[in-house]
Amino acid sequence: MNDGLKLKKATYHLWTFTISKLISSFGAQVYSFAISFYILQATGSATSFAANLICNILPRTLAAPFAGYLADQYSRKLIVVLSQVATTIAVGGLLLVSFITDLSLTAIYITSCILSITSMFSGVTFTSSVSGLVDEARVQRAMSLNQMSISFAAIASPAVGGLLYGAVSMQTFLIMYMIASCLAVVLESTMDFTLFANRKEKEIAGQKESMWVSIKAGIIYLKLQPILVTIVWISLLINFLFGAFEVGYSFILIEKMKMVSQRFGFTQGAFAVGMLLLSIYFSIRKEVRYPLLVSKWAIVGMGCVMAAVSFPLLVGLTSTSVFVFYLVIMFGLGALIIIVNTPLQVMLQKKIEDDFKGRIFSLLETMAMALMPLGMVLYGFLYDLFPAQWILLLSASLFIGVVLVLARPSVIRKAHPEIAEPNAEKGRNVPTTVRM
């Protein structure tokens, strides 16, 4: 295939990938919004809400190594398509249960586990395939467009969910998700996942590695990359501490502030708007020069936002003031998450060899989420026992402390040696002005 045709196909992949993510994300987020409200209003318990979050996280953590192995050993296109088909079947099963009997927490939890696993296989494989779908010059744009599609869906889905919740049946939400999933399957089946791939041929009989040998090789490769190890430790600890926000935010707004579903939906939409605007910015700007440094300070910003969530619990505000405050908070958080993720994702896409991407991305996700189930359980109990504001303030302080220690200046200089190098100007050494 000539270069001109390959670039045309890469452009097609950019938009097909974006639209597919937009459609599937919209269905998933409308479903998630409705289920979260259903559980909290039916039980009024932060523990029950946290249990559903665990069902979304624990299976992903356990399945990630298998997803990485399959993504590096088998057809990535086949894995993505089959994962989306499995998602459609799982939602259809819950729809069938809802017609036969009333929805139970058990049925919801089981479905959440299945959807968690299918999204893991699809997500890891898609992430591993970005450099095979588009040319190297457009990797950052592809990652940004992916975030944009998720953001568009996140803007619309809470608003739609908030308006429809209580006005239509839960079956309507499930049918919407099924339709979106089916459309995503059709789009994904038209993509060529090997267009720019640089993978070694592994289909020769006797050449395919066993799963354990393959995973072990991925671990060894990871250990040889000290910056990746640092990213793993940061992800492990901050995702555990971010459980304070994951559980506390919905619990505070719905149970403590008694915010109506429409307003809650708009705060979620503000989060998506922040993600969207920063995704657009990254899609048109040059690559970030110092991705780990930029991500470090964005994570510190996230810690400040986490602490700020407790403010209305400490100071009396009107319901309108509370609503506006959380709109601003969620907008800022959405923007910061993109500033953290996009530069790091581009750096990893270019730093990790194609043959190891599935295993490395799955190992990174496994380690990032390893403590999240424990965090969900812990914070679910803590919010039922102690004042929410003090839980958030303590967790935010630890959150900021972790990144300042693990991403200290010496580590940043290892990731970006050019920061420490003096710039020659008229024969003199000029010290760098980059702040770490």
Q: What is the pLDDT of residue 50?
A: 72
Question: Which amino acid is it at 389?
Answer: Q
pLDDT grade for 180, boundaries at 50, 70 and 90: confident
Summarize pLDDT for 331-352 with one digit per residue, the tens: 999 999 989 988 888 888 878 8
Q: What is the pLDDT of residue 154?
A: 64
Q: What is the pLDDT of residue 401?
A: 94
**pTM of the predicted model as reported, rounded to 2 decimal places:** 0.70
Residue 10 has pLDDT above 70, yes or no: yes
Q: List residues bridging with 428 in a β-sheet.
A: 425
Summarize pLDDT for 114-162 with one digit per residue, the tens: 888 888 888 888 888 887 888 777 777 887 877 777 767 766 776 677 6
- In percent, how much of the chain has pLDDT > 90? 13
Q: What is the pLDDT of residue 235?
A: 85
Give the other-Cβ count within 10 Å of 229's Cβ: 13
pLDDT grade for 428, boundaries at 50, 70 and 90: very low
Residue 25 has pLDDT above 80, yes or no: no
Inter-residue contact 391 to 248 (CB < 8 Å): yes
Q: What is the pLDDT of residue 397?
A: 94
pLDDT grade for 434, boundaries at 50, 70 and 90: very low
Q: Report the distance separating Cα 405 and Cα 424, nearest Å.
A: 31
Give the other-Cβ count within 10 Å of 384's Cβ: 12
Domains of the chain by range and CATH? 3-194+212-410 (1.20.1250.20)
Residue 366 has pLDDT above 50, yes or no: yes
> The dihedral of CA 224, 227, 228, 233: what is its sign?
positive
Residue 288 has pLDDT above 50, yes or no: yes
SS3 state of residue 424: strand
Residue 207 has pLDDT above 60, yes or no: no
Residue 103 has pLDDT above 80, yes or no: no
Residue 228 has pLDDT above 70, yes or no: yes
Residue 296: closest CA among 436, 414, 393: 436
- In percent, how much of the chain has pLDDT > 70? 88
Give the other-Cβ count within 10 Å of 69's Cβ: 21
Inter-residue contact 132 to 238 (CB < 8 Å): no
Q: Report the distance separating Cα 268 and Cα 271, nearest Å.
A: 5
Residue 308: closest CA among 294, 319, 322, 293: 322
SS3 state of residue 242: coil
Residue 425 has pLDDT above 70, yes or no: no
Residue 123: closest CA among 366, 319, 351, 290: 366
SS3 state of residue 207: coil
Q: What is the pLDDT of residue 302?
A: 94
Average pLDDT, the chain: 81
> The dihedral of CA 42, 44, 47, 52: what is its sign?
positive
Whose tokens are 């390959």? That residue is 6
Q: Which residue has the higher pLDDT, 303 or 164?
A: 303
Residue 92 has pLDDT above 70, yes or no: yes
Q: What is the pLDDT of residue 395?
A: 93
The least confident of 53-62, 196-205, 241-250 is: 196-205
Torsion of CA 11, 138, 238, 150, to 10 degrees: -20
Q: Report the distance separating Cα 406 and Cα 408, nearest Å.
A: 6
pLDDT grade for 300, boundaries at 50, 70 and 90: very high
Question: Which amino acid is it at 416?
Answer: H
Give the other-Cβ count within 10 Å of 212's Cβ: 10
The least confident of 48-52, 162-166, 179-183 is: 162-166
Task: Tell me which DSSP letter residue 419 carries.
Answer: G
